[in-house]
Structure formats: structure tokens, C-alpha cells
Amino acid sequence: MVDVILGMQWGDEGKGKIVDYFAPRYDIIARFQGGPNAGHTLYVNDKKIVLHQIPSGIFHESTINLIGNGVVLDPVTLKRECESVAGFGVDYRKNLYISQRAHLILPTHRALDKASEMSKGVEKIGSTLKGIGPAYMDKTGRNGLRVGDLLDKSFTTEYIKLRLKHQQLLDGFHFKEDMSAWEEEFFEALEFMRQFKIVNGEYFINDKIQQGKKVLAEGAQGSMLDVDFGTFPFVTSSNTISAGVCTGLGIAPQKIRDVIGVTKAYCTRVGGGPFPTELSDATGEELRKTGNEFGATTGRPRRCGWIDLVALKFACMINGVTQLVMTKADVLDAFAELKVCTSYKIDGQATDEVPFQMTRVKIDPVLKSFPGWQSDITGLKNYGGLPEQMKNYIHFINGYLKVNVSYISNGPARDQLIENL
């Protein structure tokens, strides 16, 4: 049996905290896509940690963590992360497994990401510059190197061949940067990686499922950043939606039970691209300040706006969402008025569908207003005790989406989660 937790918006919905909360109910936590572009924040014994590639179940001693074949893996970041979780007393060698089919991010992938973004000028995607796009391009272009290749004696020869190809591309971009330090670090990290449990991820996970073990698939990014269904081209390069679980882990669709979508009580986006409910005014600034909306991976300020039910309904549809988790509800505590977007107006025409092309059209969000609750909810433990205004807000969202908000997160700590099942 496999359940999925994934992002419903443009990433940073609080997936890391939610996966960490649910982890004790599962035997295996598995990442199925993305790479070090992700930044999943967890609080362990009141100390903050941001995970980029290691699944968010790593702090639970009896939980197996698998990096699936759909992930693109940067050995350098992985080594750093392992060292940082070891500081929390985690024996990562015991519980961390890596699929041999996961593709490697090379130093030249990172350089290509940078060169490509620089060449786009003002139209840049706003990539995290972690080499994600170029690594996935080499996967679909059938050039990439995989984790399992590390164990083959031809690895260095294949690496040099690929680096040469990349160098030609970099020359085309007139990109000049000394990469020798990156490369040195990379080779050191490869040595470190060779000592890991490198497995046939698809057999590993299917065997466990057969034995009755419970798997939680942890998504990275968000549904609106999906390469097929997001706000293309301002997206990431992987399938972030539930379908990605099948290809990113090697499991069949009928094995998936619950799809748990995580959404903020409002909305954020980091990087370029369309964001219909964005607030470029004092209210947006207040959301950013109160929600501490600065990127966990890049530190960039996140763009903020009201919750977008059109995009959320779309995300519920393409993911087959069965339950919703609403995070950062406490960030709205002080607001006297809240708004939700119920449709888009494009050229004077209202629609409740996400259009094919969001970059070339001007979208005016149609907003419905709600009174705020203006009280501190961070210490509350049960749904019954929530302010009536908040219950009304959630009730409207449930009705619109036809999927219920089953959990409300009211603070960053592990135990700040209210069930409403």
C-alpha cells in the first residue's frame, strides 16, 4: 500500500513537516522526483533542519528512507546533508537507500543551469541553479549517468565523455567559470556515495509492498510546477504530481491509496512565472513577513497572495487528491479580512478552469471576501476549538473543492497539527 503526500501549489507548502508528522505510520518514506531544488523544513527537538534530497522520514529510527529512480541526485549536496543529519544522531547509513536508476547531477549540469538562465535575461525561469533542468535533459536525451554507473569501472571514462559534451554547450553560451573546485568536491562525494545501500529501487519497494509494508511517497515542488500541468515554461523539469509516483518509484497505479495534498492557507511562489492572486502591496508584504516567506533552498523572498481555488481544484483533479492538509493557517491570525480566488477573468470572460497558457494572457482573479478570526490559534489542539470565522473559511474551501481539509497546521512544530477527520 502506498500513500502520497505532495504539494498543491508552487512548492514550499510545508510538505517536509507533514511527512515528518505522518512518518511513524509508515515503514518506508520514498522521494520520487526532483532533487536539491527542494528544501523541506523540519523541526527536530526544536532545532530546524532543511532537507534537500534525503526523505523527511530520516529522523524516525525505524523508518526506511528511499531515494527513488525519478530523483536527480547531487552527490555533493547529499554528502553535506548526511553530515548535517548525523549531527542530530541519525545513522543515515542504516536507513537510507538509493535507487541505482536515479540520475546524477554533475558539476557541469549546475554550470549549464546557470548559463541557460543567464542567457534568458528577464525571461529567466528563476531556477534554483542546482542543475535540475540539465540533468533531466540528459535523462530524456539518453546521455545521463546514473547512480548504479558509479559501481562500474567505465564510470570515469563515461563522465569525461559527458563533460566534454557539456563543455561544448557551455562554450556556445560563452560561459566561463573555473569548475575544478566543483569537480574535486564531486569526486570526493562520489567516493562517499559508493558506500551507500545502492539498490534496485523497483524490486526493493515492490518486495516491501508485497510483505505488507506501508509506503509514503514524498513529493517535492508542487503541482503548479509540474512539467506537464504547471505554468509552463515556468515550471520544474519533473512530474511532481501523483502520476510521478509510479514512474519515479516503479510501482503500479493500483497500489496507490490516499493522495494527501498539502496547501498553504494562502499562496506563495518563488522564481518567475504567472501567479494570478499575487499581492504586490502591503498585504502581500504582511503575508511574507508573518509567514517568514523566504526560500528554504535559495533564501529568496517568496511572492505572496491569496489562496487560489481555481488552481487548487485543478491540482485536486490531476492528482486524485483524497485529503487536504492546510498549512500555515496561523499566518492569517491577524488579518481582519481574507480573500479566496473563485474564478479567473480573462478578457472579461470568467472561467473556473486553469488556461493552457497563463503567461500570455492577463488573468484578473475574482475574489470572495471572508472576515478574519483575529485571534491566536497556535496553541489550539482540536477542531472544535477553532474560531468560527476559520471554520467558515475552511467550510467554503471544502465545498468548492469537494475535497475536505482533514488537517490544519497551526505552527511549524511537529505537534502543531489539528485533525478534522
Q: Which residues are catalytic?
A: 12, 40
The separation between CA 367 and the C-alpha centre of its own chain, rounded to angstroms, equals 27
| Radius of gyration from C-alpha coordinates of the chain | 21
Phi, psi angle pair for 154, to nearest 5°: -80, 0
> Binding marks (x or -) toward ligand IMO, 18..37, rule CB under 6 A?
-------------------x
**What three-state secondary structure class fits 392?**
helix
Q: How many residues bind to ligand IMO according to rule CB under 6 A?
A: 23
C-alpha cell at 295: 526560500
Q: In the complex, which residues of this chain contact ligand GDP (CB under 6 A)? A: 7, 11-17, 39-41, 296, 327-328, 330-331, 409-412
Task: Give, in degrees to the nearest 5, the angle at Cα 186 between 183 and 187.
Answer: 90
Closer CB to ligand IMO, 101 or 130, in the complex: 130
- Determine if 12 is a binding residue for ligand IMO (CB under 6 A): yes
> Binding marks (x or -) toward ligand IMO, 106..125, rule CB under 6 A?
-------------------x
Query: Which helix H or strand E contains 47, and what residues bound it?
Result: strand 47-51
3-state secondary structure 132-165: HHHHHHHHHCCCCCEHHHHHCCCHHHHHHHHHHH
Listed ranges 12-20, 51-59, 92-100, 306-314: which one lies at the site for Mg ion (CB under 5 A): 12-20
Closer CB to ligand IMO, 112 or 309, in the complex: 112
From Mg ion, ligand IMO, ligand GDP, none, which one binds at residue 110 (CB under 5 to 8 Å depending on kind)? Answer: none
- One residue of 72, 78, 150, 270 binding ligand IMO per CB under 6 A: 270
Contacts of 222 (CB under 8 A, 6+ apart): 6, 7, 8, 9, 10, 11, 12, 13, 240, 315
- Determine if 7 is a binding residue for ligand IMO (CB under 6 A): yes
From ligand GDP, Mg ion, ligand IMO, none, which one binds at residue 410 (CB under 5 to 8 Å depending on kind)? Answer: ligand GDP
From ligand IMO, ligand GDP, Mg ion, none, which one binds at residue 116 (CB under 5 to 8 Å depending on kind)? Answer: none
- One residue of 39, 68, 201, 284 binding Mg ion per CB under 5 A: 39
Q: Tell me the closest approach of the beta carbon of residue 419 to ligand GDP, in angstroms.
A: 14
- Determine if 223 is a binding residue for ligand IMO (CB under 6 A): no
- Determine if 126 is a binding residue for ligand IMO (CB under 6 A): yes
- Determine if 58 is a binding residue for ligand IMO (CB under 6 A): no
Q: Which residues of 20-40 are buried (b: 16+ CB within 10 A; e: fewer)?
A: bbbbeebbbbbbbbbbbbbbb
From start to end of 292-395, where are the E strands? 303-305, 307-308, 323-327, 337-346, 349-351, 363-371
**Pairing relationship of beta strands 303-305 and 267-269 according to DSSP bridges:** antiparallel
The separation between CA 120 and the C-alpha centre of its own chain, rounded to angstroms, equals 24
Phi, psi angle pair for 210, to nearest 5°: -60, -35
- One residue of 68, 134, 271, 411 binding ligand IMO per CB under 6 A: 271
- 306 contacts 267 by C-beta, under 8 angstroms: yes
- Determine if 68 is a binding residue for ligand IMO (CB under 6 A): no
Binding site for ligand IMO (CB under 6 A): 7, 10-12, 37-40, 125-128, 130, 132-133, 220-222, 225, 236, 270-271, 296
Binding site for Mg ion (CB under 5 A): 12, 39, 296
